[in-house]
């Protein structure tokens, strides 16, 4: 079976190969070199410098205040800690509203800070244009659909998406569209597991779920959530892997094992339609 458990760094084409081989892709957020090194040692495939850092590092109420410079600072730090994992960085709110902004942001995050791939949210025509524009310039892009936290003001809160027939059909159409525009991977956040299963079977690029059930090609969690550090109500899709693990390193290893065995997420971490 194809595996990335070698010394060689994980590449963007590896994600595609893992989908084809049925090898689950393990993704975890990271914001500093120390946690990056632990994540790497645990054999996690992708480190994501998410704009969730606005909430878990900076204490903001949403991700909307995060800047490209914030993401660049943390991307440089994680880059210094990892040798094996692929390094994905978020394009923050309004940093890809125009082609020019997207290009400047990509220069900063890939050219200066060392990211291997950028993630952006949405699947409607203005974002599709940006995905196409960036991928045609050799910037690997991961799309993000379902609950897109940068749309929190329009959505009115952090809610499961795609439950009604029209919303379900819209997310399926967006998934096809981001793949056609050139995205190399797709994060699906807080959608019913049957919707994620349908999309995962229908498109050629790997799907990475968070609150999207077990049928995705990979899983991602926010590090602070899976270490039981986040304040407030714990979302249904979160499991505390530190409880009983004994160390942060062991928690990361337990998470990677559970994703690879497909024992996480379970039904209790998933949403029904
Ligand atoms: O910002 C982030 O950490 C993310 C993950 C929740 C997928 O986008």
| Ligand 1 in reach of 187 Cβ (< 6 A) | yes
Cα separation, 206 vs 17, whole angstroms: 9
Nearest CA, atom 2, ligand 1: 50
Is residue 197 over pLDDT 50? yes
Is residue 193 over pLDDT 60? yes
Cα separation, 120 vs 20, whole angstroms: 24
Is residue 5 over pLDDT 60? no
How does pLDDT run across 201-232, given as a tens digit for each residue?
A: 999 999 999 999 999 999 999 999 999 997 78
Q: What residue ranges do the domains of the chain occupy?
A: 12-265
What is the 245 CA–ligand 1 centroid distance (Å)?
24
The pLDDT of residue 3: 45
User: Are the CB atoms for 213 and 271 separated by under 8 Å?
Assistant: yes
Kindly report the length of the chain: 273
The pLDDT of residue 17: 98
Token code pair at residue 258: 């559970």
How does pLDDT run across 60-85, given as a tens digit for each residue?
A: 999 999 999 999 999 999 999 999 99
For the CA of 52, the closest atom of ligand 1 is: 1
C-alpha distances in Å from residue 239, one per residue of 34, 148, 155, 221, 245: 22, 21, 25, 9, 12
| Ligand 1 in reach of 52 Cβ (< 6 A) | yes
pLDDT-above-90 percentage for the chain: 95
Count of other CB atoms within 10 angstroms of residue 231: 9
In the predicted model, what is the mean pLDDT of residues 229-246? 91
* 3 state DSSP class of 138: coil
The pLDDT of residue 6: 56
Cα separation, 263 vs 33, whole angstroms: 29
The pLDDT of residue 169: 98
189: annotated active-site residue:
yes
C-alpha distances in Å from residue 225, one per residue of 75, 114, 140: 19, 25, 27
How does pLDDT run across 151-161, given as a tens digit for each residue?
A: 999 999 999 99
What CATH fold (topology level) applies to the domain 12-265? TIM Barrel (3.20.20)
Cα separation, 53 vs 71, whole angstroms: 8
Cα separation, 28 vs 48, whole angstroms: 6
* 3 state DSSP class of 197: helix
In the predicted model, what is the mean pLDDT of residues 6-20? 93
| Ligand 1 in reach of 253 Cβ (< 6 A) | no
pLDDT-above-70 percentage for the chain: 98
């Amino acid at each position: 079976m194809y595996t990335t458990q070698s010394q060689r760094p994980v590449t963007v084409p590896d994600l595609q190969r893992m989908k084809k081989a049925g090898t689950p892709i393990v993704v975890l957020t990271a914001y500093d070199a120390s946690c990056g090194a632990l994540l790497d040692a645990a054999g996690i495939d992708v480190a994501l410098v998410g704009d969730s850092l606005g909430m878990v590092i900076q204490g903001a109420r949403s991700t909307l205040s995060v800047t490209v410079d914030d993401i660049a600072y943390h991307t440089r730090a994680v880059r210094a800690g990892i040798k094996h994992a692929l390094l994905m960085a978020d394009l923050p709110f309004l940093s890809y509203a125009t082609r020019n902004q997207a290009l400047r942001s990509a220069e900063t995050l890939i050219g200066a800070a060392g990211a291997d791939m950028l993630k952006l949210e949405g699947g409607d025509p203005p974002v599709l244009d940006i995905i196409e524009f960036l991928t045609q310039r050799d910037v690997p892009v991961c799309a993000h659909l379902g609950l897109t936290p940068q749309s929190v003001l329009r959505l009115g809160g952090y809610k499961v998406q795609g439950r009604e027939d029209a919303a379900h059909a819209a997310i399926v159409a967006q998934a096809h569209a981001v793949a056609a525009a050139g995205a190399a991977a797709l994060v699906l956040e807080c959608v019913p597991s049957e919707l994620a299963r349908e999309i995962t079977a229908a498109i050629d690029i790997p799907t990475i779920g968070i609150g999207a059930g077990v049928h995705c090609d990979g899983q991602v969690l926010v590090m602070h959530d899976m270490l039981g550090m986040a304040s407030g109500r714990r979302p249904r899709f979160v499991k505390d892997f530190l409880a009983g693990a004994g160390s942060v390193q062991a928690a990361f290893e337990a998470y990677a094992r559970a994703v690879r065995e497909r024992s996480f997420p379970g039904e209790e971490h998933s949403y029904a339609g």
